Amino acid sequence: MPNQPVLRVLNVMTGPETNGFRVAKEDGRLTDRSRSARLSGTMEYIGTPQPVVLPVTRQYTNTIELLGGGGR
């Protein structure tokens, strides 16, 4: 929007992430994949009258699985 201050957010996170996946020997299709992480860091708001830096922790787990015959 014109004449509005610009606010940016800088998010910096580090930590372990694990990934695993399986591929079918027969045709090379991805059959499943799992991912998980526990990350921590900071979220900094840039463009505010005073510095704003907040601690952040993010944790996630997700899984993708091929269902049924996978139809081509």
Over residues 27-58, the pLDDT tens digits come to 999 999 999 999 999 999 998 889 899 999 99
31 lies in some domain: yes
33 lies in some domain: yes
70 lies in some domain: no
Whole-number Cα distances in Å, 25 to 8, 12, 29: 46, 39, 8
37 lies in some domain: yes
Cβ atoms 43, 58 nearer than 8 A: no
Q: Report how many domains make up the chain.
A: 1
71 lies in some domain: no
Domain range for 49 is 8-63
Average pLDDT in the chain? 90
69 lies in some domain: no
2 lies in some domain: no
